[in-house]
Structure 1
């Protein structure tokens, strides 16, 4: 992005997220007001707006540019955050702010995060860069689910999206939700091969025809593969628990992994998005 630089907003995002999520005794009203300010930073990144240009969520020019993106996940999230954020910033709303108000705003914030990734993977096919998929998999399950659920609606034949979406459902919700998702799409998944034609040819070439076909036959379609993977991962979670469920428990894994290697525009953009998503987040060890 030519105009937006993560480092420029590091101090501001640190303050906003600290006051929204880490400040002991913060009010719900104050939390929503800070999320609204933070959303303005996210909009700057989405629209690549220079630092000196004023941005407010209710500005007609900003709304018009958001609508041009033609993404309901994005536009609806902005509407919710702006509406509640404005009410919590001004003095007309005198009633108590409820847990449901907070939940609606945070869910909309998660949708903004997901949009950044959706926009990226609409430009660069999900699954083509396996390093990017690996880094993506370090994100909190709810962010992965929101992203992949939207992408699946547009690219229902992408087997990497199918695989990762079923696992994200397992980790964001539970095994029952993941299995239900698979069963509802059983007919479609059964006729969807579990590997691409190119990958099948590569396996046969490397392992020999007989052994290669044997490897492929263990999970010949996406239904079998997803059920198998869900059962294996669910068993591991049952024994060892989930590695992480939110940014605070995932950030150490992200820091350890580091950015993906390369200097192409595709890789630099991905690394920038990932760094932005973790900007201002603190690990549980820092909070204790």
Structure 2
């Protein structure tokens, strides 16, 4: 089994590099942006023709949500053109692509299903949605995995930010009216490996996050509880913490489709968070 990981320095890429140790018989190729810029079609074509992967797991993405509002060109190149070139030169391989809850506008009263209408609020969401459409148009075999609120041991994320802030201040304000689900990168990585173990799944779009619902305030509160941090946590509204890009107020994802396809149980976000906090604290 030949598996190519793009964006190997990302949170998910690093998580997969650790999980790869459990599958020494597979031929893994981890490539960072410097080693494979997915916006360079000729380089993508060369690497795919040489390696001929059975699976590509595309972890490469432009994820700076606020900066994307100004860096429009690079956001679309990485999030739209990159998936297009991977799809166009995929051959008989299977592409697993990581997408986002930001393709939705957050106006749904219930968890989003895969077929629900999309309406991104900013450049990041628009560029990721365009990347999804490129894959649907050009890839022979693929799974688009939308996820949300990623955190883990590697890279920069909300968990790391909260723990860093707790070392500098005794009072932290966190938004309470944006609702979604924190997702542990290790659980997502296991989902991706399960797709490989099944030799691919039915072409289409799937939602994956941990189980449960939370606000950013709930998320922060649990982080400090599990880390044994005693500080003052102030709930604020999103308008009190203005950002350059709009964010969906509600982006809980319905996971029924992927659970039925893969036949596995997804941990609750609190269960996974507690384990991670204990490991890194």
Pair in the same fold by TM > 0.5: no
Task: Give me the TM-score of the superposition, normalised by structure 2.
Answer: 0.24
Higher relative CO (CA 8 A, sep ≥ 6), structure 1 or 2? Answer: 2
Between Structure 1 and Structure 2, whose CA radius of gyration is higher? 1
